[in-house]
């Protein structure tokens, strides 16, 4: 039985070591992306499961959708970036002005 493990990476040439590292990194990124897609699907299922109980929940759904839109090419337009930033600031301002006790009855 071998007492000392052999460092295969150290025995490879530089090109092979780099290729191995790139392959490991690519697999790690692919695994992270798969986990992210699974968490995103779970979040979307939760968001769609029931109507919002109040404005705060509705705003969270809107923030999520706006965030998805912000990642698209259509959102690269500076005017749209300004609109997104302004809308998110409006959400913060309006929710803060509303107060936590009035969330369930806002808009009635």
- Asked if residue 1 is part of any domain, the answer here is no
- Quote the number of domains for the chain: 2
Model pLDDT for residues 46-105, shown as the tens digit of each residue: 999 999 999 999 999 999 999 999 999 999 999 999 999 999 999 999 999 987 665 554
Do 101 and 57 fall within a single domain? yes
Do 80 and 61 fall within a single domain? yes
- Asked if residue 40 is part of any domain, the answer here is yes
pTM: 0.68
* Residues 88 and 66 sit within 8 Å (Cβ to Cβ): yes
Any idea what the Cα angle at residue 64 is, between residues 66 and 40, rounded to 5°? 130
**Per-residue CA distances from 97 to 33, 52, 53, 82, 103 (Å):** 38, 19, 18, 22, 11
Do 59 and 106 fall within a single domain? yes
Q: Domain range for residue 18?
A: 7-49
Model pLDDT for residues 27-48, shown as the tens digit of each residue: 999 999 999 999 999 999 999 9
* Residues 98 and 106 sit within 8 Å (Cβ to Cβ): yes
Do 100 and 85 fall within a single domain? yes
- Asked if residue 2 is part of any domain, the answer here is no
């Amino acid at each position: 039985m071998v007492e000392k493990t052999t460092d295969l990476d150290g025995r490879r040439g530089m090109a092979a070591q780099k290729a191995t590292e790139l392959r490991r990194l690519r697999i790690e990124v692919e695994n992270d992306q798969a986990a992210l897609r699974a968490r995103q699907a779970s979040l979307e299922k939760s968001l769609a499961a029931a109507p919002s109980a109040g404005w705060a929940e509705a705003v969270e759904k809107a923030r999520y959708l706006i965030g998805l839109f912000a990642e698209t090419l259509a959102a690269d337009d500076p005017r749209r970036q300004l609109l997104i930033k302004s809308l998110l600031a409006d959400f913060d301002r309006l929710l803060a002005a509303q107060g936590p006790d009035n969330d369930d009855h806002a808009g009635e």
